[in-house]
Chains A and B, each alone.
Chain A
């Protein structure tokens, strides 16, 4: 099956710093990428939908200035957590689609803000 990578897999940062997470589709072109957040013992929560060459669509309650998303190419989307705080600590997962019904998930990035 298709492969989606995320980098870094794990990051620890100080409060107030910004962290960039990359999501890449390695062997296919992804017109759409989704960014999710997952708290312990809970399911995935959609943060935003990212389309190549256009602005991301954010879910209600997600601050677009805090979670900057850039979908620069058909194989790369980045999520930047700006001025991170401890409450931003979470597991962030991206997925990429080839079509409406096919979605491939990245391995996730565990963020810890001290």
Chain B
């Protein structure tokens, strides 16, 4: 069974704090997407990872294949980072790219 577990469900931070969101997944997942969903509902893909680490601006995503665990870090957080962050696992057996989604982390960054 393909499963993706994400934590925490809610996260509140003060502007400037370092933030970490965690995601663990089952053996049927071959890669992880990190997505950002703003209050209006639109979803932006931040990263797709199958190994190692990726960085884009203040966002860093890492994945540990052996432990089946991925983290999304936000350095120097800002109120505009407030959003729902979702990790989604790519089904190893899907040729079309089917994703399994975590429940999301609601991040609120206060000024």
Contacts and interface: CB of A to CB of B under 8 A. Distances in A.
Partners in one complex: yes
Contacts of B102: 43
A93 B41 contact: yes
Contacts of A110: 41
Nearest to B35: A105
A93 B42 CA distance: 8
Contacts of B95: 100
B63 to A, nearest CB: 13
B31 A108 contact: no
A32 interface: yes
Given A44-B101, A105-B43, A108-B42, 17 more contacts: A34-B99, A42-B103, A43-B103, A43-B104, A46-B99, A93-B43, A100-B90, A100-B94, A101-B97, A102-B48, A102-B97, A103-B33, A103-B97, A105-B45, A106-B42, A107-B41, A107-B42
A41 B45 CA distance: 19
Interface residues of A, number: 25
Interface of A: 1, 32, 34, 38, 42-44, 46, 49, 51, 91, 93, 95, 97, 99-108, 110
A49 B45 CA distance: 19
Nearest to A31: B96
Nearest to B99: A103
Interface of B: 31, 33, 35, 40-45, 48, 50, 86, 88, 90, 94-99, 101-104
Contacts of A102: 48, 97
Contacts of B104: 42-43
Contacts of A100: 90, 94-97
29 contacts: A32-B96, A34-B98, A38-B41, A42-B103, A43-B86, A44-B86, A44-B101, A49-B96, A51-B96, A91-B41, A93-B43, A97-B96, A97-B97, A99-B97, A100-B90, A100-B94, A100-B95, A100-B97, A101-B31, A101-B48, A101-B50, A101-B90, A102-B48, A102-B97, A103-B45, A103-B99, A105-B45, A108-B40, A108-B41
